[in-house]
Amino acid sequence: MVGAMEIYQLTPKINCKKCGLPTCMAFAVALLAKEKNIEDCTPLLEPKYEAKLKKLREVMAPLASASETGLIIHDEKCYGCGNCVVACPVNVANDPRGSAIGLGPKSDKVILMVEDGVVKCLNPKECRRFGPNRIMCNLCTSTCPSKAIEFV
């Protein structure tokens, strides 16, 4: 998946601060975190950066489908095995009688559950990677046999 460095290469790299950030690198990071939009960099809309803008839109397109936490599910890779559902610490904490003990979720406060054979993301804002106290949790991705979940 696309990284901040790759995005930075596609900015004007002139550190003009028009986007409200001190550097183009900071803008790249903010773009990735969905805190800024491509259009916030007005210089990029100038004709001379047309090629960069086009490329940037291309690499950013998959992120548009990601939830606010940057979680993307690749349906076609998912076995519906439920490993992520049972491993997610938020599911475990909010659903002690369901996903915590291996069963299908019995609470509507879970983040992950399996529907029609494929994992679904329900309450993305509950994810530990989200909000002011976020941590780099990766239990859902590290327990997945097929890289069907990804964070961008």
Partner 1 sequence: MAVCTGCSLLCDDIEVTLESGRIARTKNLCRKGLGRFRSLYSERASPRADGSEVDVGDAISRAAEILSGAKRPLLFGWSNSTLEAQQAGIALARKLGGVIDDTSSFCQGPLMELVIRGQMPTGTLDDVRNFGDTLIYWGSDPTSSHPRHMSRFSYFPRGEKLQKGFEEDRTAFAVDVRESPTAKIVADGYFQIPPGGDAEFIEAILSVLDGKMPKVQDKKRMISFVTTLKKAKMGFIFPGLGLVYSLKDRLDLFSQLVARLNEGVPFRVIPMVGHYNMRGFNQTLFEQTGGINQVSFADGEARRGQENGIISALDSCDAALVVGSDPVSSLPAAFARKLAKIPVVVMDPHRNLTADLARVVIPTALSGLEAGGAALRMDGVRVELAPVVEGASPSDAEVLARIREVV
Under the binding rule (CB under 6 A), the answer on residue 129 touching ligand SF4 is: yes
Contact 135, 129 (CB under 8 A): yes
- At 135, list the tokens: 């941590």
10's contact among partner 1, ligand SF4, none, with CB below 5 to 8 A by partner kind, is none
Which runs of consecutive H residues, i.e. helices, occur in 34-138?
50-64, 83-87, 89-94
Binding mask 29-68 for ligand SF4 (x = CB under 6 A): ------------x-xx------------------------
Contact 8, 25 (CB under 8 A): yes
Window 86-115: residues binding ligand SF4 (CB under 6 A) = 88-90, 111-112, 114
Under the binding rule (CB under 6 A), the answer on residue 11 touching ligand SF4 is: yes
In the complex, the smallest distance separating the C-beta of residue 146 from ligand SF4, rounded to whole angstroms, is 5
In the complex, the smallest distance separating the C-beta of residue 40 from partner 1, rounded to whole angstroms, is 40
Taking the least distance from each CB to partner 1, the nearer of 104 and 124 is 104
Contact 146, 77 (CB under 8 A): yes
> Taking phi first (over 0 means left), then psi (-120 to 50 degrees means alpha), and beta for anything else, what does residue 112 get?
beta
Interface pick for ligand SF4 out of 2, 7, 10, 12 (rule CB under 6 A):
12
Taking the least distance from each CB to partner 1, the nearer of 43 and 80 is 80
CA-based end-to-end distance of the chain:
6
The whole-angstrom separation of Cα 31 and Cα 25 is 10
103's contact among ligand SF4, partner 1, none, with CB below 5 to 8 A by partner kind, is partner 1
- At 66, list the tokens: 């990601």
In the complex, the smallest distance separating the C-beta of residue 33 from ligand SF4, rounded to whole angstroms, is 14
